[in-house]
A and B are shown apart, each in its own frame.
Chain A
């Protein structure tokens, strides 16, 4: 009789382990089956940018280099669209993509059909004036903080109208790491000891 509970519990444990293994396996299968997720943050996949909220943000115009816009000046129906990843030879050679570049190509963000807009992963077009919606698709946490005035910068009135900056005013969309800057001079050392 004393062996019974032991074998009983062994059986129970066996079942638990098998169950767990099966679960793990299916979890792995699931995560492998998913399309490449742009960001490990789970929220990101569920994140839906709030386009209507954008109107009251008083955003400054996008910081294009002079003459870069409208893109359709060159990207007219004559210019063939080539979706293949390649080294660009005929234009935009100055663009260096260091933004998760292994998984990313220009047309993940830029619209192939209408070069004057960006687009989300689901194809929804996004104007350059609202490029933060594109960034928010993968950086949902930062976008929420930004909307609350906590990431990025808001100026104007703490109890009234505020202006925001677009993400691309601080981060180059193509190599977004914040660039080092030159500091102002240090303060003088004290002349007298108080």
Chain B
């Protein structure tokens, strides 16, 4: 772990906290006797998958598949969101919950749509995700949906005291839910508020559980771990668009391979006015915002 000024104190605190927590965490046998996911052999992973699938079958009364698709060669995922089209309807927020098995009670929302004032411009201090209205867009406002920005320089990964979160070769930052100790250092390190913690047992109705899952993505999570957007890893590693792209009624959400010169992401970068959130922090997001006008 690099020892960056400013982060070092927090790193230290996290390390201390993690020792304390690790000592008393109630871990399931799947996690206790194994190594980190990314260091395991294929056979070990297959055993864990079988274990998880059995656990989910018992819990939800149906077959849940836990995929282990790896990153594709020559692919670096990126996202682009058109702020001149988004109307703040939150369809993406709820499609994400259903697709990614987020807890319904207590509610966990990986996507937050922030309402901002046209007069103030991009200004997080005056933004709210709690706006309510008969109709959107509300006059004088614009909307900035925020989820994990899939940073190239992710402070969350740097700060994790146990190495439970890392960047994959296709750019997706993932979490090993069985390795996570729930210390939440990553949450305070994330400048986008994109990481969420399961305070109590996540509840997903049996008939609503998405049975198509990935081990590093939308598989049902235990209590006491951190989770976040993975660009719908279970879909995108199979060539599909993320659920939020598919559902957006305004077509504001764009996704693709940054390395494909003919893809929509490159078209946006080459033809539109583009920016990233909190660029001054040098997190270097793979999530771009643009004006499509």
A-to-B contact residues, CB < 8 Å: 145, 148-160, 165, 170, 178, 180-189, 191-192, 194
B130 touches A150 (CB 8 A): no
Q: Report A-chain residues with C-beta under 8 Å of the C-beta of B129.
A: 186-187
Q: Which 7 A-B pairs have the closest CB atoms?
A: A153-B251, A184-B90, A180-B135, A149-B264, A187-B109, A148-B267, A157-B239
Q: A170-B250, A178-B87 are in contact. Are A184 and B94 (CB under 8 A)?
A: yes
10 further contact pairs, Cβ within 8 A, besides A150-B292, A154-B241? A150-B264, A152-B251, A157-B239, A159-B239, A160-B239, A180-B137, A181-B89, A184-B94, A188-B107, A194-B197
For B88, B132, B254, the residue with the greatest tally of chain A CB atoms inside 10 Å of its CB is B254
Task: Determine if B199 is an interface residue (Cβ-Cβ < 8 Å).
Answer: yes
Interface mask (B272-293 → A, CB under 8 Å = 1, otherwise 0): 1000000000000000000010
Of the listed stretches B57-65, B152-160, B255-263, name the one at the interface; the rest are far from the partner chain. B255-263
B292 touches A145 (CB 8 A): yes
Q: How far is the CB of A28 from chain B (nearest CB, A)?
A: 29
- Do B236 and A150 touch across chains, with their CB atoms under 8 A apart? no
Inter-chain contact A149/B239, CB cutoff 8 Å: no
Say yes or no: is B184 at the interface (Cβ < 8 Å to chain A).
yes
Contact: A183 with B264, CB < 8 Å? Answer: no
Contact A183-B133, Cβ < 8 Å, known A150-B264, A150-B268, A194-B197? yes
* Number of B positions contacting A (CB below 8 A): 48
Choose from B88, B94, B267 the contact partner of A149 (Cβ within 8 Å): B267
Chain A residue contacts of B268, Cβ below 8 A = 150
A170 to chain B minimum Cβ distance, whole angstroms, is 7
What would be 22 A-B contacts, judged by CB atoms less than 8 Å apart? A149-B254, A149-B264, A150-B271, A152-B251, A155-B241, A155-B245, A156-B240, A156-B241, A157-B240, A159-B239, A159-B260, A165-B251, A182-B135, A182-B136, A183-B131, A184-B89, A186-B131, A187-B112, A189-B130, A191-B199, A192-B199, A194-B197
- Asked if residues A183 and B89 are in contact (CB atoms below 8 Å), the reply is yes
Whether a CB of chain A sits under 8 angstroms from the CB of B93 is yes
Chain B residues near A181 (CB-CB < 8 A): 87, 89, 135-136, 249
The complex places the Cα of A183 from the Cα of B113 at a distance, in Å, of 11
Q: Mark B104-145, 1 if CB is under 8 A from A, else 0.
A: 001101001000000000000000011111111100000000
Q: Tell me if B187 is interfacial: C-beta within 8 Å of chain A.
A: yes
Pair B93/A184 contact, Cβ less than 8 Å:
yes
Quick one: which of A155, A187, A192 contacts B130, CB cutoff 8 A?
A: A187
Decide if B246 is an interface residue (CB 8 Å cutoff). Answer: yes
A37 to chain B, nearest CB (A): 20
Are B88 and A183 touching (Cβ within 8 A)?
A: yes
A180 / chain B contacts, CB cutoff of 8 Å = 87, 135-137
Residues of B within 8 A of A153 (CB): 245, 248, 250-251
B187 lies within 8 A of A194 (CB): yes
Distance of B247 from chain A, by nearest CB (Å):
9
Q: Could you tell me the distance between the alpha carbons of A144 and B181 in the complex, rounded to whole angstroms?
A: 49
Interchain CA distance A82-B6 in the complex, whole Å: 76
Asked if B91 lies at the interface with its beta carbon under 8 angstroms from chain A, I say yes
Question: Within 8 Å CB of A160, what residues of B?
Answer: 239
Q: Collect the chain A residues with CB atoms within 8 Å of residue B187's CB.
A: 194
For residue A172, give the distance in angstroms from its CB to the closest CB of chain B: 14
CA distance A151 to B254 in the complex (A): 9
Enumerate chain A residues within 8 angstroms of B267, measured Cβ to Cβ.
145, 148-150
Q: How far is the CA of A1 from the CA of B199 in the complex (A)?
A: 94
CB neighbours of A159 from chain B (8 A):
75, 239, 257, 260
How far does the Cβ of A131 sit from chain B's closest Cβ, in whole Å?
17
Q: Known: A158-B241, A184-B93, A187-B129. Contact between A150 and B137, CB under 8 A?
A: no
CA distance A180 to B91 in the complex (A): 14
User: Is there an interface contact between B257 and A158, defined as CB atoms closer than 8 Å?
Assistant: yes
Residues of A within 8 A of B250 (CB): 153, 170, 178
User: Considering the chains assembled together, what is the distance between the CA atoms of A182 and B94 in angstroms?
Assistant: 14
Q: Are B241 and A157 in contact (CB under 8 A)?
A: yes
Q: Who on chain B is nearest to A178 by CB?
A: B250
Determine how close the nearest CB of chain B comes to the CB of A94; give it in whole angstroms: 21
Contact with B255, one of A158, A178, A182, A183 (Cβ below 8 angstroms): A158
B106 contacts A186, C-beta separation under 8 Å: no
Which residue of chain A lies nearest to B80 when distances are taken between CB atoms in the complex?
Answer: A150
* Option from B91, B245, B264 in Cβ contact (under 8 Å) with A184: B91
